[in-house]
Chains A and B, each alone.
Chain A
Amino acid sequence: MSYFGNRVQRREDPALLTGHGRFIADHQPPGTVHAAFTRSPLAHARIRSVDLSAARAVPGVLAVYTHDDLPGLPKGARLPLHVPNAAITKPHTQAPLADGEVCFAGEAVAVVVAENSYVAEDAAALVAVEYDDLPPVSDIESALNGGHPSHADDADNVAAQLTVGYGDVDTAFAEAAHVVQATLKPHRGGGHAMECRGVLAQPDADGHNLTVRSGTQAPHLVKRSIMDVLGLSGDQVRVIAPPDVGGGFGPKAIVYPEDIIVPALARALGRPVKWIEDRREHFLCTTQERDQIWTVEMALNGDGTLRGLRGTMAHDSGAYLPWGVIMPYISATTTPGPYVLPAYQLHVTCVLTNTVPTTPVRGAGRPQAVFAIERLLDQAADQIGLDRADIRRRNLIPADQMPYEVGLTYRDGSPVIYDSGDYPATLEAGLERAEYTSFAERQRAGRAEGRLLGIGMAFYVEGTGLGPFEGAAVRVQQDGRIVVQTSAAPQGQSHQTVLAQLAADQLGVDIDQVSVVTGDTATMPIGIGTFASRIAVNAGSSVHVAAREVRQKIVDLAAAVLEVDAKDVELADGEVQVAGVPGSGRTFGELARIAQGMPGFSMPGGTAPGLMADSYFSPKRSTYAHGFHVAEIEIDPETGAVDIIHYVVVHDCGKVINPMVVDGQVQGGLAHGVGNALLEVMRYDTSAQPTTTTFADYLLPEAADVPVADVVHLESPTDLNPLGIKGAGEGGTIPAAAAVIAAIENAVAETGVRINHHPVTPAEIHHILHTAAPAEVSA
């Protein structure tokens, strides 16, 4: 039986269900001391003075440092810019501890190490910092129009500008029969993994080497940054992402000040140092995403076919841009989506504000772009008098045009070429499952009873599985067990299960014979990280290729040992035998011992030493997944509350390794998108103070808020990797806000109000119903 494609149970679960998961906070080596940070209460200020004496006097405090004396770091040190780009004119990254100026509320100013975290936190509160206020920049508009910079030495707040597009937009608009315009404001939110971040650094006995555990999505990125900032050699630093990391969603894919400072403290003090972020710090310091302002217009022919799309987009980078311009660039290259769009031009301006830096959060720039084009299409359909499904039908790329070259360059540097997919079939499948044709009748009947029903839809195309690579090593041990090592670190994506499925299939063994070791820089010399829906494609393909190579080595060695031709050897259940001769064989374990060699003897038959292989599968370009969401909702006219009564997801991520895993990713991603559409407001006041810093103020979807995804799976395999798979981690999120907001707008259509922002709260819907005007944008 093949494991690929089957509903294999997760191997991670038994430990997690009995409380035996091993998360970062669960690691507590003897002698561990604890770090806590003093953070800026102001969004923008100069540091006039710092008095550490009271903090240092607290019994149990071992050390207190600021930027000026943090051991092991040169003055002026900054965190790395992970993805440089020539368009960036203000490549600001954060100082591990603030260097004279703080640029967002929560920026770390001092660090305390103490015997326990209670003392460390108490002492951190006693660090006395005097600040001189600087004018804060709280949002995109004030960054562009406020007249003062978010970094005191800058002339303005523009960090980067770029123009993305193709075709002749001017002619498209000059010749258009219809033009629609909109200003759209998708809102920022947080990743909000239930486990906050954490770092534990342990020095060796001689203080030379460090082992660092970080609750990260990208252990190799953390390692390289520690080496760079602390000036250490690669052999001195080992970074491990614990086998259990409690959710990632993007924000754990960057390197934070704590990832550098905690290792520096461990080296300085010669003791294990641990820091566990609390939720308030997570709200204040962990990166967020999605604030953008799109001012765009769409040109169409009389029949509703697209001529062009043009405009501007301003992107809030927050106070620093560790990921450069990746998100706005992804946004800009996602806009054309599944449609034949002859001409396109978007001018992007990335602005710096005095808010938490923004880096990719599940969807990474795509939800905003999908929101922009899908909302414009709905507006165009209304203006032209077309059904909203019809306008999409008339513009979808036909299946026979695959592969389809859009005319853009993707973030991985390769051309945007949609490799496979039948978009019209996806649309029809979604409309059918949603019973779209009979919705108008449902809506009319509902109105007659005083019920407000609405339906909305949104399509997306998502570049997934981008390179450069994610490696894997496969080896057979002398006990016959298979070990798979990979640089990829999981945060709930079931690596232990799906990577084992792939190895077990190639080697013909029971999945229980396979162990998977993840996210340890000591086992894999190079690695990238678990983000951008890339691990199944990259690490999965590497496991597949490496396991196939090991299989060949097993066959070659068995042939040499059994003195038969390789073609006469067969593998089954962890044994190798001469085909058709039961009992003739050797076990994998026996062969692994032989392959380990006998001192002084040659390898049998000139075979290669070791039943092992590694692979760094490197896709030549991204593979494009796609999907279509249809949301049917009911609004309570008295309270404005939205009840999602049917939510259809058509999802195509190519071939599927484990349908249960993909189902889980789709459903979880949808929950995140519903949060973005209806609940999650990360509010900063005009002084750039975050005012939603608890789960009482910032509403994550609860069990009663999330609809059950009614999923239609389609499969358009890709030939860009040996498994035919595409990424599945973000598709549930990407179009959800667009679909839900469209449904709300449809439900209140009688008011004529267009809704071009999210989230939309019950209070705002209530306001729309009673005034036929949109409320002030709640974000």
Chain B
Amino acid sequence: MNVNGTAVTGYDAGARLLDVIREHLGLRGTKEGCGVGECGSCTVLLDGEPVCSCLVLAGQAEGREVTTVEGLASCPAGARLREQLVDHQALQCGYCIPGVMVSATAHLSRTEEVTEESVRTAISGNLCRCTGYTKLVSAVLTAASDTGAHS
């Protein structure tokens, strides 16, 4: 598989993609919050689609493109979102944020008309206990308006 554009080999195909990312590659940005696909902390992009990496076996990602929070640095939507999350002071503990970043970036990248409702739906799979989501949603909407995607 490719992770953040770099070819990766030597992993256990039976391991969880989450563990390959965190343990084998040492990319610790992706977090485990529940291990059963219910909290979204471990969200990564698999060929551009947000998935819970705790539910994907490494073998299932073979030959595919994986993007983690670390890989969003090189993506314009990710950079804009990061800026807005700081400006809105949208974070608290930050544990869920890598997953939120991945889900929201995917939403921004492929949605023509971003609305508050569409953002709330897009990150509804990402649980956050600290923030109450309001500033996260505002930050995503502002990042969308920077690109003209915000209706």
Contact = CB atoms under 8 A, between A and B. Distances in A.
Contact of A21 (B95, B117, B133): B95
Given A492-B130, A672-B129, A16 B33 contact: no
B71 to A, nearest CB: 9
Contact of A13 (B86, B124, B125, B127): B86
B130 A10 contact: no
Interface in A25-55: 25-26, 28
Interface in A1-31: 7, 9-10, 12-14, 16-21, 23, 25-26, 28
B89 interface: yes
Contacts of B95: 21, 23, 193-195, 244, 246-247
Given A17-B97, A492-B92, A10 B134 contact: no
A194 B127 contact: yes
| Interface of chain B, main secondary structure | loop
A605 B2 CA distance: 65
Contacts of B131: 664, 667-668, 671
A196 B33 CA distance: 7
A9 B89 contact: yes
B129 A667 contact: no
A193 B132 contact: no
A20 B29 contact: yes
Interface stretch (A255-263, A334-342, A443-451, A694-702): A694-702
B85 to A, nearest CB: 6
A669 B93 CA distance: 14
Given A694-B36, A700-B129, A246 B31 contact: yes
B102 to A, nearest CB: 10
Given A14-B86, A279-B39, A667 B29 contact: no
A660 interface: yes
Given A672-B129, A696-B38, A194 B96 contact: yes
Nearest to B128: A194
B127 A700 contact: yes
Contact of A17 (B27, B86, B126, B135): B86
A13 to B, nearest CB: 5
Contacts of A195: 31, 33, 93, 95
A83 interface: no
B98 to A, nearest CB: 5
A538 interface: no
A415 to B, nearest CB: 34
B24 interface: no
A704 interface: yes
A663 B27 CA distance: 32
Contact of A279 (B28, B29, B30, B34): B34
Contacts of A757: none
Interface in B98-138: 98, 101, 117, 119-121, 123-137
Contact of B133 (A191, A245, A492, A706): A706
B97 A16 contact: yes
Centre residue among A19, A664, A706, A709 by max chain B CB count within 10 A: A19
Centre residue among A10, A12, A16, A28 by max chain B CB count within 10 A: A16
A670 interface: yes
A174 interface: no
B41 interface: yes
A244 B96 CA distance: 12
Centre residue among B30, B31, B119, B130 by max chain A CB count within 10 A: B130
Contacts of A704: 117, 120-121, 124
B81 to A, nearest CB: 9
B89 A664 contact: yes
A704 B122 CA distance: 10
A468 to B, nearest CB: 26
A700 B41 CA distance: 14
B57 to A, nearest CB: 14
A672 B93 CA distance: 15
A373 B68 CA distance: 49
Interface residues of B, number: 52
B35 interface: yes
Interface string A473-513: 00000000000000000011110000000000000000000
Contact of A9 (B30, B69, B86): B86
Contacts of B125: 702
B150 interface: no
Interface residues of A, number: 55
A708 interface: yes
Given A19-B29, A194-B33, A694 B38 contact: yes
A233 B124 CA distance: 48
A300 to B, nearest CB: 36
Contacts of B76: none
Interface string B78-98: 000010011101111111111
A245 B120 CA distance: 25
B68 to A, nearest CB: 7
B132 A18 contact: no
A18 B31 contact: no
B123 A703 contact: yes
B89 A19 contact: no
A193 B41 CA distance: 12
Contacts of A212: none
A154 interface: no
Centre residue among A23, A244, A247, A700 by max chain B CB count within 10 A: A247
Contact of A668 (B124, B126, B132): B132
B89 A703 contact: no
Contacts of A670: 132
A19 B30 contact: yes
Contact of B132 (A493, A661, A671): A671
B17 to A, nearest CB: 15
B73 interface: yes
Contacts of B124: 702-704
A694 B68 contact: no
B87 A9 contact: yes
A568 interface: no
B65 interface: no
A137 B122 CA distance: 42
A192 interface: yes
A361 to B, nearest CB: 11
A19 B93 contact: no
Interface in A277-319: 278-279
A104 interface: no
Contacts of B123: 703
B36 to A, nearest CB: 6
Interface in B48-82: 68-70, 73, 82
Interface in A405-437: none
A19 B128 contact: no
A703 B136 contact: yes
Interface string A187-213: 000011111100000000000000000
Contact of B93 (A25, A244, A696, A708): A244
B69 A703 contact: no
A329 interface: no
Given A17-B101, A195-B93, A667-B135, A247 B129 contact: yes
B132 A706 contact: yes
B137 to A, nearest CB: 7
A249 interface: yes
Contacts of B132: 667-671, 701, 706, 709, 732
30 contacts: A12-B91, A13-B85, A13-B91, A18-B69, A19-B27, A19-B98, A194-B33, A194-B95, A195-B95, A196-B33, A244-B94, A246-B93, A246-B94, A247-B95, A278-B34, A279-B34, A279-B35, A492-B92, A663-B135, A664-B135, A667-B134, A668-B131, A695-B127, A696-B38, A703-B119, A703-B126, A703-B133, A706-B132, A706-B133, A732-B132
Q: Which 4 A-B pairs have the closest CB atoms?
A: A19-B29, A246-B95, A492-B93, A16-B94
Given A9-B87, A664-B130, A695-B38, 9 more contacts: A13-B91, A194-B127, A244-B93, A492-B92, A671-B132, A703-B120, A703-B121, A703-B136, A706-B132
